[in-house]
Structure 1
Amino acid sequence: MIRKVLAAVSIGLPWPLRRRLLNRFCGARIDPSARIGWSLVLCDELEMGPHSHIAHLTLVKGIRRLSLGEHAILGSLNWVSGFPQGLTDSPHFRDAADRDPALVIGRHAAITSRHILDCTDTITVGAYSTVAGYRSQILTHSVSIRESRQRCAPVTIGAYCFVGTGSILLPGAALPDYSVLAAGAVLNRSMAAPHMLYGGCPAKAVQELPEDLAYFRREEGYIV
Structure 2
Amino acid sequence: MKKALTMLCGLLPLNPVKIFLLRALGHSISYKSHIGISVLYVDKLELRKHSRIKHLNFLKMKKLVLGEESFIGNYNIIKGPMEVSLADKAGISKQNKIRRSYAPISYGRAVLQLGQNTIIVSKHFLDLTKSIYVGDNSIIAGIGSQFWTHGYYHAAQGKDRIRIDGDIHIGNNVYIGSGCIFNPGVKVSDAIHIGAGSVISKNLVDKGMYVSQGLRYIENSIEAIKSKLTKVEGFDLIEQVYTKK
TM-score class normalised by the smaller sequence: 0.7 to 0.9
Q: Which residue among 36, 41, 66 is the counterpart of 2:53?
A: 36
Letter in 2 for 1:67: S
- Counting only pairs closer than 5 Å after superposition, residues 62-211 of structure 1 correspond to structure 2 as 62-84=80-102, 87=103, 90=104, 92=105, 99-146=108-155, 148-193=161-206, 195-201=207-213
Alignment partners' CA distance in 1, 2:46 and 2:67: 8
Q: Could you list the runs of 5+ residues in structure 1 that have no partner in the other structure?
A: 204-224
Q: Does structure 1 residue 60 correspond to structure 2 residue 78? A: yes
The percent identity for this pair of structures is: 25
What is the alpha-carbon distance in structure 1 between the residues aligned to residue 79 and residue 122 of structure 2? 17
Distance 1:11 1:202, change over 3 A: farther
What's the Cα RMSD here?
2.1
Q: Are residues 189 and 100 of structure 1, via their aligned partners in 2, closer, same or farther at CA, if it must alter by over 3 Å?
A: farther
SS in 1 for 2:122: coil
Q: Structure 2 unaligned segments of length 5 or more: list them.
A: 28-42, 216-245
Counterpart secondary structure, 1:18? helix
TM-score (norm 2): 0.72
Give the equivalent residue in structure 2 for 1:209: none
Count of residues in correspondence between the two structures: 192
Please report how far the alpha carbon of residue 40 of structure 1 lies from its aligned counterpart in structure 2 after TM superposition: 1.6
Equivalent residue letter for 1:145: H
For 1:3-14, what aligned pairs fall within 5 Å after superposition? 3-13=2-12, 14=14
- Cα distance in 2 for partners of 1:7, 1:190 equals 40
